[in-house]
Protein backbone atom coordinates (compact mmCIF):
# COMPACT_ATOMS: atom_id res chain seq x y z
CA UNK A 1 0.00 0.00 0.00
CA UNK A 2 1.22 3.38 -0.81
CA UNK A 3 1.11 5.62 2.17
CA UNK A 4 0.14 9.10 1.44
CA UNK A 5 1.94 11.60 3.56
CA UNK A 6 -0.30 14.37 4.55
CA UNK A 7 1.60 17.54 5.08
CA UNK A 8 0.02 19.91 7.40
CA UNK A 9 0.93 23.42 6.77
CA UNK A 10 0.96 25.72 9.66
CA UNK A 11 -0.43 29.07 9.03
CA UNK A 12 1.17 31.81 10.99
CA UNK A 13 -1.15 34.48 12.24
CA UNK A 14 0.25 37.86 11.68
CA UNK A 15 -0.48 40.43 14.37
CA UNK A 16 -1.40 43.69 12.79
CA UNK A 17 0.39 46.90 13.69
CA UNK A 18 -2.84 48.43 14.92
CA UNK A 19 -3.35 45.57 17.41
CA UNK A 20 0.16 46.04 18.77
CA UNK A 21 -0.42 49.76 19.21
CA UNK A 22 -3.73 49.05 20.95
CA UNK A 23 -2.12 46.64 23.43
CA UNK A 24 0.71 49.04 24.20
CA UNK A 25 -1.78 51.86 24.71
CA UNK A 26 -3.85 49.78 27.15
CA UNK A 27 -0.71 48.89 29.13
CA UNK A 28 0.36 52.53 29.31
CA UNK A 29 -3.10 53.52 30.52
CA UNK A 30 -3.20 50.79 33.17
CA UNK A 31 0.23 51.62 34.66
CA UNK A 32 -0.88 54.79 36.57
CA UNK A 33 -4.02 53.03 37.78
CA UNK A 34 -1.89 50.17 39.07
CA UNK A 35 0.41 52.58 40.90
CA UNK A 36 -2.59 54.40 42.40
CA UNK A 37 -4.13 51.10 43.53
CA UNK A 38 -0.83 50.11 45.13
CA UNK A 39 -0.59 53.40 47.03
CA UNK A 40 -4.19 53.15 48.23
CA UNK A 41 -3.64 49.55 49.33
CA UNK A 42 -0.48 50.51 51.21
CA UNK A 43 -2.20 53.45 52.89
CA UNK A 44 -5.07 51.19 53.94
CA UNK A 45 -2.69 48.74 55.55
CA UNK A 46 -0.96 51.59 57.38
CA UNK A 47 -4.17 53.08 58.79
CA UNK A 48 -4.04 53.16 62.58
CA UNK A 49 -0.32 52.48 62.68
CA UNK A 50 1.53 55.03 64.85
CA UNK A 51 4.26 57.08 63.19
CA UNK A 52 7.40 57.30 65.24
CA UNK A 53 9.89 60.12 65.06
CA UNK A 54 9.77 63.88 65.41
CA UNK A 55 9.17 66.67 62.96
CA UNK A 56 11.56 68.75 65.05
CA UNK A 57 14.63 66.62 64.34
CA UNK A 58 17.77 68.67 65.01
CA UNK A 59 15.55 71.51 66.29
CA UNK A 60 14.52 72.54 69.83
CA UNK A 61 18.05 72.14 71.10
CA UNK A 62 18.40 72.64 74.02
CA UNK A 63 15.02 71.19 74.91
CA UNK A 64 12.62 72.44 77.58
CA UNK A 65 12.18 69.50 79.94
CA UNK A 66 9.21 68.84 82.19
CA UNK A 67 11.42 69.51 85.21
CA UNK A 68 12.10 73.01 83.92
CA UNK A 69 8.42 73.60 83.30
CA UNK A 70 7.57 72.49 86.85
CA UNK A 71 10.22 74.78 88.33
CA UNK A 72 8.93 77.69 86.23
CA UNK A 73 5.38 76.94 87.37
CA UNK A 74 6.44 77.30 91.01
CA UNK A 75 8.22 80.61 90.44
CA UNK A 76 5.30 82.12 88.49
CA UNK A 77 2.71 80.98 91.04
CA UNK A 78 4.66 82.73 93.78
CA UNK A 79 4.30 86.15 92.09
CA UNK A 80 2.05 88.65 93.83
CA UNK A 81 -1.38 88.83 92.24
CA UNK A 82 -1.30 85.35 90.69
CA UNK A 83 -4.20 83.17 91.82
CA UNK A 84 -3.77 80.32 89.37
CA UNK A 85 -1.24 79.48 86.64
CA UNK A 86 -1.33 76.88 83.90
CA UNK A 87 1.74 75.96 81.82
CA UNK A 88 1.38 73.92 78.67
CA UNK A 89 4.24 72.85 76.40
CA UNK A 90 2.96 71.41 73.15
CA UNK A 91 4.01 71.52 69.48
CA UNK A 92 7.07 73.66 70.22
CA UNK A 93 5.01 76.35 71.96
CA UNK A 94 5.09 77.20 75.66
CA UNK A 95 1.67 78.60 76.60
CA UNK A 96 1.17 80.15 80.02
CA UNK A 97 -2.28 81.16 81.25
CA UNK A 98 -2.65 83.13 84.47
CA UNK A 99 -5.73 84.06 86.45
CA UNK A 100 -5.02 87.06 88.68
CA UNK A 101 -6.69 88.67 91.65
CA UNK A 102 -10.06 90.09 90.54
CA UNK A 103 -9.29 93.58 91.82
CA UNK A 104 -6.26 94.13 89.56
CA UNK A 105 -6.64 96.88 86.97
CA UNK A 106 -5.30 97.01 83.43
CA UNK A 107 -1.96 98.64 84.27
CA UNK A 108 -1.30 96.12 87.04
CA UNK A 109 -2.12 93.15 84.82
CA UNK A 110 0.12 94.55 82.08
CA UNK A 111 2.98 94.89 84.57
CA UNK A 112 2.38 91.39 85.90
CA UNK A 113 2.51 90.01 82.36
CA UNK A 114 5.95 91.54 81.93
CA UNK A 115 7.05 90.13 85.28
CA UNK A 116 6.05 86.66 84.12
CA UNK A 117 8.15 87.17 81.00
CA UNK A 118 11.12 88.13 83.19
CA UNK A 119 10.61 84.98 85.26
CA UNK A 120 10.71 82.92 82.08
CA UNK A 121 13.81 84.71 80.83
CA UNK A 122 15.54 83.94 84.14
CA UNK A 123 14.64 80.25 84.16
CA UNK A 124 14.76 79.72 80.38
CA UNK A 125 16.87 82.43 78.72
CA UNK A 126 14.87 83.76 75.79
CA UNK A 127 17.90 84.06 73.51
CA UNK A 128 18.58 80.36 74.07
CA UNK A 129 15.12 78.75 74.09
CA UNK A 130 12.88 81.16 72.19
CA UNK A 131 15.03 82.40 69.31
CA UNK A 132 15.59 80.48 66.08
CA UNK A 133 18.61 80.81 63.83
CA UNK A 134 19.46 79.70 60.31
CA UNK A 135 20.20 76.17 61.48
CA UNK A 136 17.43 75.23 63.90
CA UNK A 137 13.89 76.09 64.98
CA UNK A 138 13.28 76.93 68.63
CA UNK A 139 10.23 77.42 70.85
CA UNK A 140 7.44 80.00 70.63
CA UNK A 141 6.12 81.71 73.76
CA UNK A 142 2.61 82.92 74.59
CA UNK A 143 1.58 84.43 77.93
CA UNK A 144 -2.08 85.18 78.69
CA UNK A 145 -2.96 87.05 81.89
CA UNK A 146 -6.48 88.09 82.95
CA UNK A 147 -8.70 88.81 85.94
CA UNK A 148 -12.37 87.94 86.54
CA UNK A 149 -12.04 84.38 85.19
CA UNK A 150 -15.78 83.74 84.97
CA UNK A 151 -16.90 87.27 84.07
CA UNK A 152 -15.32 88.28 80.75
CA UNK A 153 -18.26 90.58 79.94
CA UNK A 154 -17.74 92.80 82.99
CA UNK A 155 -16.50 96.35 82.43
CA UNK A 156 -13.54 95.81 84.76
CA UNK A 157 -12.39 92.64 82.98
CA UNK A 158 -8.87 92.92 81.58
CA UNK A 159 -6.80 90.49 79.54
CA UNK A 160 -3.30 90.86 78.15
CA UNK A 161 -1.41 88.56 75.78
CA UNK A 162 2.37 88.64 75.38
CA UNK A 163 3.82 86.82 72.37
CA UNK A 164 7.42 86.00 71.52
CA UNK A 165 7.71 83.74 68.49
CA UNK A 166 11.06 82.18 67.76
CA UNK A 167 11.47 84.30 64.61
CA UNK A 168 10.65 87.60 66.36
CA UNK A 169 13.44 89.86 67.52
CA UNK A 170 11.51 90.91 70.61
CA UNK A 171 8.18 90.31 72.33
CA UNK A 172 4.90 92.15 71.82
CA UNK A 173 2.08 92.71 74.30
CA UNK A 174 -1.55 93.60 73.62
CA UNK A 175 -4.64 94.24 75.71
CA UNK A 176 -7.07 91.92 73.92
CA UNK A 177 -9.98 92.87 76.20
CA UNK A 178 -9.91 96.34 74.65
CA UNK A 179 -10.77 96.88 70.95
CA UNK A 180 -8.02 98.30 68.76
CA UNK A 181 -10.56 100.63 67.13
CA UNK A 182 -13.30 101.65 69.63
CA UNK A 183 -15.38 103.39 66.95
CA UNK A 184 -15.61 100.30 64.76
CA UNK A 185 -16.34 98.16 67.80
CA UNK A 186 -19.13 100.54 68.87
CA UNK A 187 -20.64 100.50 65.36
CA UNK A 188 -20.63 96.68 65.31
CA UNK A 189 -22.23 96.53 68.75
CA UNK A 190 -24.95 98.98 67.71
CA UNK A 191 -25.63 97.02 64.51
CA UNK A 192 -25.91 93.79 66.48
CA UNK A 193 -28.22 95.41 69.04
CA UNK A 194 -30.44 96.80 66.28
CA UNK A 195 -30.61 93.38 64.63
CA UNK A 196 -31.72 91.77 67.88
CA UNK A 197 -34.42 94.37 68.60
CA UNK A 198 -37.98 93.24 67.69
CA UNK A 199 -39.52 94.93 64.66
CA UNK A 200 -42.78 96.96 64.74
CA UNK A 201 -44.69 94.08 63.16
CA UNK A 202 -43.45 91.72 65.84
CA UNK A 203 -44.47 94.18 68.56
CA UNK A 204 -47.98 94.54 67.11
CA UNK A 205 -48.33 90.76 66.87
CA UNK A 206 -47.35 90.36 70.48
CA UNK A 207 -49.83 93.04 71.49
CA UNK A 208 -52.68 91.20 69.79
pLDDT at 51 over 60: no
pLDDT in tens, 10-31: 455 566 777 778 888 888 888 8
Q: How confident is the model at residue 166 (pLDDT cuts 50, 70, 90)?
A: very high
Give me the percent of the chain exceeding a pLDDT of 90. Answer: 48
Q: Which residue has the higher pLDDT, 170 or 10?
A: 170
Whether residue 164 contacts residue 171, with contact meaning beta carbons closer than 8 Å, is answered with yes
pLDDT at 200 over 60: no
- Environment class of residue 73 by beta-carbon count within 10 Å: exposed (0-12), middle (13-18) or buried (19+)? middle
Section 151-180 average pLDDT: 89
Section 26-39 average pLDDT: 81
For the full predicted model, state whether its pTM sits above 0.95.
Answer: no
Domains of the chain: 66-182 (3.30.300)
Give the lowest-confidence range in 35-44, 89-98, 153-162: 35-44
Q: Residue 52 has what pLDDT? A: 45
Can you tell me the distance from the alpha carbon of 127 to that of 57, in angstroms, rounded to the nearest whole number?
20
Q: What contacts 165, CB < 8 A, 6 or more positions away?
A: 140, 141
Q: How confident is the model at residue 46 (pLDDT cuts 50, 70, 90)?
A: low
Q: Residue 17 has what pLDDT? A: 76
Amino acid sequence: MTQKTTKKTKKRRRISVSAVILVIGIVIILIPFGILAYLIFGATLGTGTPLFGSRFTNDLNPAITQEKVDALDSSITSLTGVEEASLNLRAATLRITIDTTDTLVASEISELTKQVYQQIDTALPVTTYFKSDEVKKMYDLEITVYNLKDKPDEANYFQFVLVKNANMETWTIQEVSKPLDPEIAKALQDALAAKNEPTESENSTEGN
